[in-house]
Amino acid sequence: MIELKEMIDSKGKIIGNNILKVDEFLNHQMDIELINKIGDKFHEFFKEKNITKILTIEASGIGIAAIAAQYFKCNVVFAKKTKSLNLIGDMYRTRVKSFTKNEEFEVLVAQKLLNPEDRILIIDDFLAEGSACLGLIDIVKQSKAQLSGIGIVIEKGFQDGGKIIREMGIDLCSLAIIESMSEDGGAVYRD
Amino acid sequence: MIELKEMIDSKGKIIGNNILKVDEFLNHQMDIELINKIGDKFHEFFKEKNITKILTIEASGIGIAAIAAQYFKCNVVFAKKTKSLNLIGDMYRTRVKSFTKNEEFEVLVAQKLLNPEDRILIIDDFLAEGSACLGLIDIVKQSKAQLSGIGIVIEKGFQDGGKIIREMGIDLCSLAIIESMSEDGGAVYRD
């Protein structure tokens, strides 16, 4: 997606060969015009799948999922990372490791919110090692809903998440795949 | 807002006299059609204020803020509750107590994302004791931006947050104010 790559190139900050900061437009400030185009793009890619629900994980996925859901005319469920006093009732549970926070945590989704009849699209901002995505895939499996696809804004193609998910036979749409990156040379994208 | 009160009455769950679960439509599953109407309503209320940025706090505020921002044609900044490895640079910091999680945490916003020229609308899902809102107000003050108003989906009118904020002279728009609630009697709304 050209507008996205242009935004990464102009406003993203690369630190070392591994960390890409996109806090000016994606996961701290959200550029709503860009995210609208991202939602439209996901819809263009998955519109034949009759998606009934978008599943994401707090926090950075929520805004992207909410805007994308307007195109699909469906609702969003976001998996919760922490145990609120208000989380009562039967939960699907899985464990996820955060690459950027270097910690493991439990992820919860209320069982009543996912049904075997649902056709689920998972959406998230980043795909790196794939731990968050694999956690959400695990929750969809537990619910017996159909996983119709995964939409990712930025995939770090030099980490293993994308490979693992494609080898599972899942329909994965990453709007920008970074093959390599460096502070001097910027990001190099996969075609 | 009638559609919101109807949704609270039909799909909200009251536990004791204090906890209102709205996980089926607002802060776990998001009813995108309803949240679109909520965004429109905030815009109707604040459209004369020339809002340049919406400020919210992760996680439940993000989806509401993102959809509302489409009406204002502005961007969203969401305050972060935890310290990610990617949070580098100068930060505005404040402390917030969570009513539903019974814990205190630090809240961060990158200084570069708020400017003295900004006219800020704060948006959040709930207002109870007001700790999250007061934290966001503190961050807006630190940035020297103008606080143009606060939009809240559900205010618990029997707790002090709304009173404190109105006494500060801030333009507060709560779409549903619950005067009292009980498991048997449901929610009673302020006019």
- pLDDT values of chain B reduced to their tens digit, one per residue, 191 residues: 999 999 999 999 999 989 999 999 999 999 999 999 999 999 999 999 999 999 999 999 999 999 999 999 999 999 998 755 566 679 999 999 877 777 888 999 999 999 999 999 999 999 999 999 999 999 999 999 999 999 999 999 999 999 999 999 999 999 999 999 999 999 999 98
Q: Would the pLDDT of A12 be above 80?
A: yes
**pLDDT tens track for A52-87:** 999 999 999 999 999 999 999 999 999 998 755 556
State the pLDDT at residue A64. 98
Contact B36 A65 (CB under 8 A): no
Distance CA(B15)–CA(B20), nearest Å, equals 6
Contact B62 A65 (CB under 8 A): no
Region A182-188: what's the mean pLDDT? 95
The pTM for the full model equals 0.96
Q: What is the pLDDT of residue A34?
A: 98
Please give the average per-residue pLDDT across A1-27, as a whole number. 96
Q: Which pLDDT score, from 0 to 100, does residue B104 have? A: 87
Tell whether ipTM is more than 0.90. yes
CB A137 within 8 A of CB A147: yes
For strand B146-156 and strand B119-127, is the pairing parallel, antiparallel, or unpaired? Answer: parallel
- Longest CA span, chain A: 51
Token pair of A37 as six digits: 């185009």
Closest CA of chain A from B166, distance in Å? 27
Mutation site for B-interface testing, chosen from A31, A86, A101, A115 by largest number of B Cβ within 10 Å:
A86
Nearest chain B alpha carbon to A70? B32
Q: How many CB atoms lie within 10 A of CB A163?
A: 12
- Mean pLDDT, residues A157-161 taken together: 97
- Give the span between the Cα atoms of B149 and A137, in whole angstroms: 40
Specify the pLDDT at position B17: 87
Quick one: DSSP state of residue B80?
B
Q: What is the pLDDT of residue A87?
A: 61
How far separated are the first and last CA of chain A, in Å rounded?
A: 10
Q: Tell me how many degrees the CA angle A160-A162-A165 measures, rounded to the nearest 5.
A: 105
Residue A134 neighbours by CB under 8 Å, 6+ apart:
A96, A161, A164, A165
**B102 to A86: CB separation less than 8 angstroms, yes or no:** no
Residue for token digits 């950075």?
A: A60
A106 CA: distance to closest CA in chain B (Å): 15
How many CB pairs below 8 Å do chains A and B form together? 133
Chain A partners within 8 Å of B110 (Cβ) = 23, 28-29
Rounded distance between C-alpha atoms, residue A73 and residue A104, angstroms: 33
Average pLDDT over residues A118-129: 97
**Predicted pLDDT of residue A156:** 97
